[in-house]
């Protein structure tokens, strides 16, 4: 079976002044794959995510992306317009804080509609039905479609953010600590939701987290980062069950056994 | 008559600068051109932008008409008309058909404008996306990249809350299939008149220092959804003076019991209609 490579990262490096953000990162991302990036605070995982999603432009390196239409492109040299267009429809970021990804002044349905309107659907009932469909898919009450995000709980806001991003049927979804700041039971429910959806719609994802439970539950492949470099990489279960690098060993043994 | 001012108040260099901006605006229909707005001898919000545009294109042969909410005899209209009479020594008129230059606030005359006329709108807020995106840097990008989802989200929100779009004035339009444009606070009743208009439409915003334009015969489309098409206001009543059923009507409370009357907002149209029917 020939699985399509949709992202190729080579020697990706970013410096903040003299400070290393991330250095010499290489990996390939295949369609339908879920890649986890773990590491402690300050290990460069957020910097890496920002480089990949075009939020900052890295000091050096190469990112080749292969789009559904248009073949392989050099992501870093794309004009701003195309990057924004990508982010608004074919790619999506789920922020740790749902308030960064949602427009709080418009209703839940409006938030999802905004995403769909970027790919220019100018039909009200289509927007309405798709909004409801995705709210139900992420296990929200679709009767609350006209309520404002602030009237939702933190967990519900996160679900709304996820349904907003997924509604445009994106090619790659970047998640930055999607369950950070939520209590354990809500975390578990959201992870369940994410897992059932990704298997369903075969979306490709890059998840940045410091929570090993999240990566074990969701991801296929893993990059372990420390001090800006990747210290270990491989299949998630292999890395977690048989860690080779001393830092990974420390990380896996630091899980609280209750 | 000696006025002590240059013809049309502004100095020649300023008028040249504004004309240059107008030419640019005409070339890029709906695009907001920044210009070096001058102080005018009246407060921002009273039509300083429209007056600067008028001042820079007015000539000695021009016949000027100024309307405010459709009426020729309201304070703003009368003051601006007197101002240009004094600094240009030109003819003014109330008749839409006689005017070569019309400056307007909040209405487009009911009488169809022709190719020899120019209509100048006074613009309070040239940026249609401003209330949706407060950053100027961002709204410029949204225009440049034609990312107009926000505008439709606003319409979506109104339909989901009220069952239909409730915006009745300053209803956003798309000019020449490209830029989303603020038609100024005209009622949406007037939006269809902007489409393919024979006259040149110029817009001046004094406080925001922007000029934009819609050239003659340009497509102007009011935004809507496929399944919620754009509609204009309608009334069950007719004008209580001239009896017109086709014009935009103002509702007027005429006594303490709250008795209502409807009359044409366009005073010139009302008068001519009355004369015609006599």
Residues of chain B contacting A84 with CB distance shorter than 8 Å: 141, 145, 147
Mean per-residue pLDDT, B185-191: 96
Q: Which position among B4, B27, B30, B206 bears the catalytic label?
A: B30
Identify whether the C-beta of residue B224 lies closer than 8 Å to the C-beta of residue B203: no
Q: Which two tokens stand for residue B213?
A: 């334009």
Say if the Cβ atoms of B153 and A84 lie within 8 Å. Answer: no
Mean per-residue pLDDT, B5-22: 95
Distance, in Å, from the CA atom of B45 to the CA atom of B29, rounded to the nearest integer, reads: 24
Distance, in Å, from the CA atom of B98 to the CA atom of B111, rounded to the nearest integer, reads: 11
**What is the edge-to-edge ordering of all strands in the sheet holding B63-68?**
B33-34, B210-214, B200-205, B118-122, B101-105, B63-68, B91-92
Q: Which residues pair with A223 in a beta bridge?
A: A37, A233
Q: What's the pLDDT score for residue A103? A: 92
**Radius of gyration of chain A measured on its C-alpha atoms:** 18
Distance, in Å, from the CA atom of A20 to the CA atom of B123, rounded to the nearest integer, reads: 51
- Which is it for strands B179-181 and B101-105: parallel, antiparallel or unpaired? unpaired
What is the tally of structural domains in chain B? Answer: 2
Q: Which residues pair with B135 in a beta bridge?
A: none
* HSE-CB of A50 using CA atoms within 13 angstroms: 15
Co-location of B85 and B51 in the same domain: yes
Q: Is B88 tagged catalytic? A: no
**B162 within a domain of the structure (yes/no):** no
Measured between its terminal Cα atoms, the distance across chain A in Å is 42
Structural domain for A116, as ranges: 34-61+81-253
In this prediction the ipTM stands at 0.88
What is the tally of structural domains in chain A? Answer: 1
Co-location of B118 and B50 in the same domain: yes
Q: What's the pLDDT score for residue A41? A: 87
**How many C-beta atoms lie closer than 10 Å to residue A12's C-beta?**
24
Q: Is A5 on the interface with B (CB under 8 A)?
A: no
Residue B5: pLDDT over 90: no
DSSP code, position B185:
S
Structural domain for B251, as ranges: 234-278
Co-location of B273 and B177 in the same domain: no
Mean pLDDT value across chain B: 95
**A117 within a domain of the structure (yes/no):** yes
**What is the edge-to-edge ordering of all strands in the sheet holding A229-235?**
A91-94, A172-176, A204-209, A34-39, A221-226, A229-235
Q: What's the pLDDT score for residue B200? A: 98
Which of B202, B222, B242 corresponds to the end of one domain? B222
**B37 within a domain of the structure (yes/no):** yes
Torsional sign, CA A100, A106, A109, A112: negative
Distance, in Å, from the CA atom of B223 to the CA atom of B215, rounded to the nearest integer, reads: 19
In angstroms, what separates the C-alpha of B145 from chain A's closest C-alpha? Answer: 6
In angstroms, what separates the C-alpha of A20 from chain B's closest C-alpha? Answer: 30
Residue B1: pLDDT over 60: no
Identify whether the C-beta of residue B54 lies closer than 8 Å to the C-beta of residue B120: yes
Say if the Cβ atoms of A81 and B150 lie within 8 Å. Answer: no
DSSP-H helix ranges across chain A: 45-52, 80-85, 98-101, 108-117, 124-137, 154-166, 184-201, 212-218, 236-241, 246-253
Specify burial of residue A120 (Cβ count, 10 A radius: 0-12, 13-18, 19+). exposed
B243 Ramachandran zone, left/alpha/beta (phi>0; psi -120 to 50): left
Q: Which two tokens stand for residue B185?
A: 């606070």
Residues of chain B contacting A143 with CB distance shorter than 8 Å: none
Co-location of B95 and B200 in the same domain: yes
Say if the Cβ atoms of B157 and A110 lie within 8 Å. Answer: yes
The partner residue sitting opposite A124, judged by closest CB among B145, B147, B227, is: B227
Identify whether the C-beta of residue A183 lies closer than 8 Å to the C-beta of residue A195: no
Residues of chain A contacting B140 with CB distance shorter than 8 Å: none
Q: Say whether A129 sits in a helix, a strand or coil.
A: helix
Residues of chain B contacting A124 with CB distance shorter than 8 Å: 156, 159, 225-228
Co-location of B24 and B101 in the same domain: yes
Q: Is B49 tagged catalytic? A: no
Co-location of B208 and B118 in the same domain: yes
Q: Say whether B204 sits in a helix, a strand or coil.
A: strand
Helices (H) and strands (E) in chain B, counts: 7, 12
Name the residue with tokens 């309107």.
A117
Name the residue with tokens 């390939």.
A28
Candidate from A179-188, B187-196, B200-209 with smallest mean pLDDT: A179-188
Residues of chain B contacting A88 with CB distance shorter than 8 Å: 147, 149
Candidate from A178-187, B56-65, B110-119, B262-271 with smallest mean pLDDT: A178-187
Mean per-residue pLDDT, B39-60: 95
Q: Which two tokens stand for residue A192?
A: 């369940």
**B158 within a domain of the structure (yes/no):** no
Q: Is B59 tagged catalytic? A: no
Q: Is B242 tagged catalytic? A: yes
What does the H/E/C string look like for B52-92? HHHHHHCCCCCEEEEEECCECCCHHHHHHHHHHHHHHCCEE
**B205 within a domain of the structure (yes/no):** yes
Mean per-residue pLDDT, B267-272: 96
Q: What is the pLDDT along chain A (258 residues), one digit of tens a residue?
A: 568 889 999 999 999 999 999 999 999 999 989 999 998 888 999 899 999 988 899 999 999 998 777 688 899 999 999 999 888 888 999 999 999 999 999 999 999 999 999 887 789 999 999 999 999 999 899 999 999 999 999 999 999 999 999 999 899 999 999 888 788 888 888 898 888 888 888 889 999 998 888 899 999 999 999 999 999 999 999 999 999 999 999 888 887 666
The CA-CA-CA angle for residues B157, B163, B165, to 5°, reads 60
Q: Say whether B263 sits in a helix, a strand or coil.
A: strand
Q: What's the pLDDT score for residue B3? A: 63
Co-location of B173 and B257 in the same domain: no
Mean per-residue pLDDT, B36-62: 95
Give the percent of chain B with pLDDT over 90.
96
| B143-170 pLDDT, tens digit each | 999 999 999 999 999 999 999 999 999 9
Q: Is A84 on the interface with B (CB under 8 A)?
A: yes
Q: What's the pLDDT score for residue B139? A: 96
Closest CA to B66 of B276, B268, B272: B268
**B143 within a domain of the structure (yes/no):** no
Co-location of B244 and B217 in the same domain: no
Q: What's the pLDDT score for residue A257? A: 64
Q: What CATH number is attached to the domain comprising A192?
A: 3.40.50.300
**A132 within a domain of the structure (yes/no):** yes
Distances (CA, A) of A120 to A124, B149, B151: 11, 8, 12
Distance, in Å, from the CA atom of B157 to the CA atom of A116, rounded to the nearest integer, reads: 14
Distance, in Å, from the CA atom of B62 to the CA atom of B102, rounded to the nearest integer, reads: 10
Q: What CATH number is attached to the domain comprising B214?
A: 3.40.50.11310
Q: Is A107 on the interface with B (CB under 8 A)?
A: yes
């Amino acid at each position: 079976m020939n699985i399509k490579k949709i992202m190729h990262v080579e020697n990706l490096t970013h410096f903040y002044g003299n400070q290393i953000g991330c250095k010499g990162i290489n990996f390939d991302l295949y369609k339908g794959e879920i890649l986890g990036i773990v590491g402690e605070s300050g290990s460069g995982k957020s910097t890496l995510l920002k480089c990949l999603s075009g939020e900052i432009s890295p000091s050096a390196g190469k990112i080749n992306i292969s789009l559904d239409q248009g073949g392989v492109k050099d992501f870093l040299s794309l004009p701003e317009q195309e990057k924004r267009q990508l982010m608004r429809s074919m790619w999506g970021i789920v922020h740790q804080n749902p308030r960064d990804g949602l427009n709080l002044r418009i209703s839940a349905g409006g938030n999802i509609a905004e995403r769909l309107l970027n790919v220019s659907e100018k039909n009200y009932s289509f927007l309405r039905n798709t909004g409801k469909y995705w709210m139900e898919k992420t296990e929200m009450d679709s009767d609350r479609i006209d309520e404002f995000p602030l009237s939702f709980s933190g967990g519900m806001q996160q679900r709304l953010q996820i349904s907003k991003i997924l509604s445009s049927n994106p090619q790659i979804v970047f998640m930055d600590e999607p369950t950070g700041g939520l209590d354990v039971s809500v975390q578990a429910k959201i992870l369940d939701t994410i897992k059932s959806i990704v298997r369903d719609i075969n979306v490709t994802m890059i998840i940045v987290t410091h929570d090993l439970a999240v990566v074990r539950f969701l991801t296929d492949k893993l990059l372990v980062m420390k001090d800006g470099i990747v210290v270990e990489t491989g299949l998630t279960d292999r890395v977690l069950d048989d860690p080779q690098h001393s830092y990974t060993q420390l990380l896996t043994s630091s899980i609280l056994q209750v | 008559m000696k006025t002590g001012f240059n013809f049309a108040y502004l100095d020649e260099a300023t008028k040249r600068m504004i004309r240059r901006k107008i030419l640019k605006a005409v070339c890029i229909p709906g695009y907001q051109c920044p210009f070096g707005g001058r102080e005018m001898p009246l407060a921002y919000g009273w039509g300083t932008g429209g007056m600067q545009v008028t001042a820079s294109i007015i000539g000695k042969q021009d016949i000027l008409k100024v309307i405010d909410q459709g009426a020729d005899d309201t304070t703003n209209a009368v003051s601006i008309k007197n101002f240009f009479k004094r600094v240009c020594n030109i003819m003014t008129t109330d008749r839409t058909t006689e005017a070569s230059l019309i400056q307007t606030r909040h209405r487009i005359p009911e009488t169809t404008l022709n190719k020899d006329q120019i209509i100048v709108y006074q613009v309070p807020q040239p940026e249609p996306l401003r209330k949706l995106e407060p950053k100027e840097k961002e709204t410029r990008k949204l225009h440049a990249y034609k990312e107009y989802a926000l505008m439709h989200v606003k319409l979506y929100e109104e339909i989901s809350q009220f069952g239909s779009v409730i915006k009745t004035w300053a209803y956003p339009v798309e000019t020449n299939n490209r830029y989303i444009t603020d038609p100024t606070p005209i009622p949406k009743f007037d939006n269809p008149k902007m489409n393919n208009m024979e006259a040149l439409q110029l817009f001046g915003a004094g406080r925001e220092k922007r000029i934009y334009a819609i050239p003659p015969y340009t497509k102007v489309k009011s935004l809507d959804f496929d399944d919620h098409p754009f509609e204009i206001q309608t009334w069950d009543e007719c004008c209580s003076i001239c009896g017109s059923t086709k014009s935009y009507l103002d509702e007027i409370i005429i006594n303490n019991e709250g008795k209502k009357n409807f009359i044409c907002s366009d005073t010139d149209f009302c008068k001519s209609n009355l004369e015609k029917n006599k």
